[in-house]
């Protein structure tokens, strides 16, 4: 096989892992690690009172619409106040509001989803590594390799489903607990749609490779 093609496939695999890994880390890991870290700190601080705050993450939209800049922020360079707006809130507070049963059930399911996402974070890089290794060994059109690529595509779509579900639960919980001045809470996964795109492109690529494999087999039989 052409050395240039091998190099391109390896670079593509590395870029693939980086994009998927960065997306998972940015979407999920900060949510759970910061929550655990802050909870430990708060328990040490408030152990006598037994009142522990929780972390909440949700997207917002200005009541009057995007780009209306309802807030202000101070520019320390020149001491001037500037109009601003934020798309995402990260809140740490004590809240005693009782959540509805369906939302409590959804949060329990979210724990299972988190473990599934952890499994996918390990599974996807392993499969990509196996694909790259097969390419280096000139087995790119091997049926096993095609199945691996298809499994990677399904795994990425599963990541997208996990992110979608997590965003839905976080948004629903925030709407039950908060009503903000100048902002309304909205459901958004605008930064995570590329999981859907990459997953579908991967499945499409697997199908193209399968067709190529079938044509190659038919050609070999003809010869």
CA distances from 223 to 50, 126, 143, 210 (A): 78, 37, 20, 20
Per residue in 137-183, pLDDT (tens digit) is: 777 677 888 899 999 999 999 999 998 999 999 999 999 999 998 99
Task: Enter the tokens of residue 107.
Answer: 């949060």
Strands of the 183-186 sheet, one edge to the other: 88-93, 54-62, 183-186
Per residue in 105-126, pLDDT (tens digit) is: 999 999 899 889 889 888 988 8
Is residue 25 pLDDT above 70, yes or no? no
Whole-number pLDDT of residue 98: 87
Nearest to 199 by CA among 162, 165, 150: 150
Q: What is the mean pLDDT of the chain?
A: 81
Whole-number pLDDT of residue 105: 94
DSSP 99: P
Bridge partners of residue 105, in order along the sequence: none
pLDDT confidence band for 18 (50 / 70 / 90) = confident
- 71 part of a folded domain: no
How many Cα atoms are found within 13 Å in the side-chain-facing hemisphere of 24?
25
List of E strands, 63-180 = 71-75, 80-84, 88-93
Task: Report the C-alpha gap between 188 and 193 in whole angstroms.
Answer: 10
Residue of higher predicted confidence among 191 and 44: 191
Structural domains counted in the chain:
1
Pair 124, 20: CB distance under 8 Å? yes
Is residue 104 pLDDT above 50, yes or no? yes
Give mean pLDDT, residues 89-102: 86
Pair 183, 174: CB distance under 8 Å? no
For the chain, give the percent of residues with pLDDT over 90: 35
Pair 58, 24: CB distance under 8 Å? no
- 16 part of a folded domain: yes
Task: Report the C-alpha gap between 5 and 133 in whole angstroms.
Answer: 13
Residue 9 domain boundaries: 3-55+96-217
Phi/psi at 132 (5° precision):
-60, -40
Per residue in 50-89, pLDDT (tens digit) is: 556 788 889 999 999 999 999 999 999 999 999 999 998 8
- 192 part of a folded domain: yes
- 31 part of a folded domain: yes
- 88 part of a folded domain: no
DSSP class per residue in 155-184: HHHHHHHHHHHHHHHHHHHHHHH---SSEE
- 85 part of a folded domain: no
Task: Report the C-alpha gap between 132 and 145 in whole angstroms.
Answer: 9
Task: Report the C-alpha gap between 29 and 90 in whole angstroms.
Answer: 14
Residue carrying structure tokens 């290794």: 133
Whole-number pLDDT of residue 192: 80
């Amino acid at each position: 096989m052409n050395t240039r093609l091998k190099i391109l496939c390896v670079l593509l695999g590395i870029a693939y892992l980086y994009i998927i890994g960065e997306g998972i880390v940015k979407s999920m890991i900060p949510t759970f690690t910061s929550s655990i870290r802050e909870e430990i700190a708060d328990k040490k601080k408030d152990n006598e009172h037994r009142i522990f705050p929780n972390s909440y993450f949700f997207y917002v939209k200005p009541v009057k619409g995007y780009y209306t800049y309802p807030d202000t922020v101070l520019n320390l360079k020149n001491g001037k106040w500037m109009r601003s707006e934020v798309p995402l809130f990260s809140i740490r507070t004590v809240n005693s509001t009782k959540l509805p049963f369906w939302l409590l059930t959804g949060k329990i399911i979210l724990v299972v989803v988190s473990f599934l996402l952890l499994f996918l974070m390990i599974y996807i890089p392993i499969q990509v590594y196996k694909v790259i290794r097969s390419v280096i060994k000139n087995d790119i059109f091997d049926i096993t390799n095609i199945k691996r690529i298809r499994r990677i595509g399904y795994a990425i779509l599963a990541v997208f489903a996990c992110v979608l579900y997590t965003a839905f639960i976080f948004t629903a919980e925030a709407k039950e607990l908060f009503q903000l001045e100048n902002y309304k809470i909205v459901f958004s996964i605008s930064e995570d749609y590329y999981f859907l795109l990459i997953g579908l492109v991967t499945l499409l690529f697997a199908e193209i490779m399968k067709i190529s494999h079938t044509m190659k087999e038919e050609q070999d039989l003809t010869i």
